[in-house]
Amino acid sequence: MKALQITQYGAIKDSLAFNEIDKPTIQANDVLIEIKAAAINPIDKSIILGNLQDLLPIPLPSTISYDVSGIIVEKGDDVTNFEIGDLVYSRVPQEQMGTVAEYVAVTSLAVSKKPGNISFEEAASLPLAGLTALQSLEYAGIKANDKVLIHAGSGGVGSFAIQYAKSKGAYVYTTTSTTNVEWVKALGADRVIDYKTEDYKTIVKDADIVFDTLGQNYTTEAFEVIKQGGKVISVVGPLDEATAHLFGMADYKLPEELTALSKAKAAEYKFIFMHPNGSHLADITALIEDDKIKPIIDKVYPFSESIAAFTHLASGRAKGKIVIKIN
């Protein structure tokens, strides 16, 4: 089958190539998905550039990307919750990475039926960003009337998080640039802050939750706007100690500055490492079918132009998700 593979670490155009490889074989718990669409994410760019070699070692060459939608064409003997012919989507686990291809084998635990009211391309855009937002905001215990600050509301994770928080009845602040203010407002955000003309730190006070999707100074600044006892959830900042220990970094300590800030506000700092989960994905299916959340797609590329899709991703200018139509 045809697959887009990372052949070396480095610049996108030098490191990706279409290769003819064997169709994956399935284990007892796997389904084989005939891929209709794949979506790409910032993590793919980091992998290609080699920034994640230590954390996520992969053999080279490897087929790239994690988000997929398609049709189940084979299933392992132990798979009971899916049938051949089911239309599904998934964020495939690290060890099964490779969705910019014609087929992918995925453990059925990471798969859900796709929402019936959206296309394959829209469905493929959801898993990684959606699970990241859902698992982050659920960890924070989001509930009605919570004041939530979501950074980068126009991004893949941010645009989903805004809609998810609104579906829970929260009051949502979000930051974005001038050109995106209107469409981010249309996603349901209550207060859209144009970071080019406004300082969010003077607008957001006593937030129950800050969802940090930007890192660096935004992670520390979160403690200026969080309420006493609030929760700062980050998907890009430093690891928290419990998460680091899970990854085997026994001596890891949270940077002192964050420890002090967190103590001063009695606010928890938590790094969320998104994990593939079919039942969380099924919750997303229900939200999509109930029209509580809409997929936001920036652009769909044909399979043959996948490398251009990655170049577009690397530009960092996408509004919503970049999708590759495979078949």
Partner 1 sequence: MEELIQTIKNRIDLSPEAENYFYSISKEISVPKGSVLIREGQTVNKVYFVKSGCLRSFCTDKSGKEHTLQFAIKNWWISDYIAIHNNELATLTVECLEDSTIIEFNAKEVNGILDLFPEYEPFQRYILERHVVSLQKRILNQLQLTAAERYDLFLEQYPNIEQHTKNYHIASFLGITQESLSRIRVKKANK
The residue among 99 and 176 lying less far from partner 1, judged by its C-beta, is 99
User: Is residue 119 at the binding interface for partner 1, with CB under 8 A as the rule?
Assistant: yes
Using CA atoms, how far apart are residues 109 and 112, in angstroms rounded to an integer?
Answer: 8
Q: 3-class SS at 113? A: strand
Closest to 306 measured CA to CA, from 49, 97, 6, 52: 6
**Beta strands 207-212 and 226-234, pairing class:** parallel
Per-residue x/- mask for partner 1, residues 79 to 118, rule CB under 8 A? ----x-x-x--------------------------x-xxx
Q: Looking at this protein, which amino acid is placed at residue 97?
A: M
With vertex at residue 214, the alpha carbon angle to CA 227 and CA 217, rounded to the nearest 5 degrees, is 65
Going by the DSSP 8-state scheme, the letter that residue 323 receives in this structure is E
User: Is residue 182 at the binding interface for partner 1, with CB under 8 A as the rule?
Assistant: no
Going by the DSSP 8-state scheme, the letter that residue 96 receives in this structure is G
Which tokens in the block code for residue 191?
């207060």
Q: How far is the CB of 61 from partner 1 (least distance, A)?
A: 30
Residues between 154 and 173 that touch partner 1 (CB under 8 A)? none
Instruction: Using the structure block, give the residue that is written with the tokens 């995106």.
Output: 180
User: Is residue 291 at the binding interface for partner 1, with CB under 8 A as the rule?
Assistant: yes
Q: Residues 289, 299, 307, 311: which binds partner 1 (CB under 8 A)?
A: 289
Q: Residues 105, 123, 149, 232: which binds partner 1 (CB under 8 A)?
A: 123
The residue among 182 and 290 lying less far from partner 1, judged by its C-beta, is 290
User: Is residue 69 at the binding interface for partner 1, with CB under 8 A as the rule?
Assistant: yes
Q: How far is the CB of 323 from partner 1 (least distance, A)?
A: 12
Q: Residues 290, 302, 304, 305: which binds partner 1 (CB under 8 A)?
A: 290
Those residues whose C-beta lies under 8 Å from the C-beta of residue 307, and which sit 6 or more positions away, are 4, 12, 13, 16
Those residues whose C-beta lies under 8 Å from the C-beta of residue 87, and which sit 6 or more positions away, are 69, 70, 71, 113, 114, 116, 120
User: Is residue 25 at the binding interface for partner 1, with CB under 8 A as the rule?
Assistant: no
User: Is residue 231 at the binding interface for partner 1, with CB under 8 A as the rule?
Assistant: no
Using CA atoms, how far apart are residues 255 and 239, in angstroms rounded to an integer?
Answer: 9
Q: Residues 120, 164, 173, 218: which binds partner 1 (CB under 8 A)?
A: 120
User: Is residue 287 at the binding interface for partner 1, with CB under 8 A as the rule?
Assistant: no
User: Is residue 300 at the binding interface for partner 1, with CB under 8 A as the rule?
Assistant: no
Residue span binding partner 1 (CB under 8 A) among the ranges 127-135, 184-192, 227-235, 289-297:
289-297
The residue among 126 and 193 lying less far from partner 1, judged by its C-beta, is 126
Instruction: Using the structure block, give the residue that is written with the tokens 């084989």.
Output: 32
Q: Residues 31, 36, 276, 277: which binds partner 1 (CB under 8 A)?
A: 36
User: Is residue 279 at the binding interface for partner 1, with CB under 8 A as the rule?
Assistant: no
DSSP character string of 159-196:
HHHHHHHHHTT-EEEEEE-GGGHHHHHHTT-SEEEETT
- For binding to partner 1 (CB under 8 A), which residues are involved? 36, 69, 83, 85, 87, 114, 116-121, 123, 289-291
